[in-house]
Amino acid sequence: MKPIHLAVLAMICAMVLLASTDNTMAAADDGDASPIYGVRIPAGYRQWQLIAPAEEAAPLNEIRAVLGNTIAVNAYRDGALPFPDGTVLAKLAWKHVPSPDFASASIPGAATTVQFMVKDSKKYAATGGWGFGRFVNGKAADEAQHRTCFACHQARAKAHDYVFTRYAH
Ligand code: HEC
């Protein structure tokens, strides 16, 4: 094969390789983006640290856990308000189910929703610097549901940078 042919072949191989890695990467974060905010489920969030558990008695009857990425955990540790850009908070929720093994204990039943708040003071300037995402089985909830997020957080948690959850020591 002539050197020029080899060079062309090498180029084609490189292009195919690049295209395929591109596709793999796209597939990895190709999950749904939330309406209005474009928030996606962050990779590895299930391994984040626990900020605090929570519970809702009615009407949803859920056990919840709020987790934070490293920036969030450091901000809680330092008492930093407002939370810095790059903060991401996750709220996981499950049905509250009585333990089959011990009458007075509860266990998490089926997962219901996973919700996120992403701090980007420029991008989300209109909503206190926070972008919101709500997911059910990995699928983003509709726009109407996303209209409710900031309204409630603003009405009840404005003094704490729109975040309800305090660190559980
Ligand atoms: C009616 C009020 C209300 C609405 C609407 C609401 N939230 Fe919240 N949110 C709360 C409360 C209260 C908490 C505290 C944890 C708990 O009790 O579940 C919370 C906690 C959170 C947290 C953990 C950080 C924090 O503030 O404590 C995230 C993330 C979150 N909500 C996301 C969302 C998203 C996304 C939406 C919209 C789809 C939304 N929330 C709509 C009341 C609300």
Convert the pLDDT of each residue in 20-57 to its tens digit. Answer: 444 333 334 457 999 999 999 999 999 999 999 999 99
Which of the four pLDDT bands, split at 50, 70 and 90, describes residue 10?
low
Separation of alpha carbons 116 and 131, rounded Å: 8
- Cα 9 to averaged position of ligand 1 atoms, centre (Å): 54
What is the number of the ligand 1 atom nearest to the C-alpha of 66?
A: 23
Separation of alpha carbons 36 and 34, rounded Å: 6
- Provide the CA 3 distance to its chain's centre, in angstroms: 51
For 98-147, how does the pLDDT look when each residue is reduced to its tens digit (9 = 90+)? Answer: 999 999 999 999 999 999 999 999 999 999 999 999 999 999 999 999 99
- Cα 149 to averaged position of ligand 1 atoms, centre (Å): 7
Quick one: pLDDT at residue 26?
38
- Cα 60 to averaged position of ligand 1 atoms, centre (Å): 13
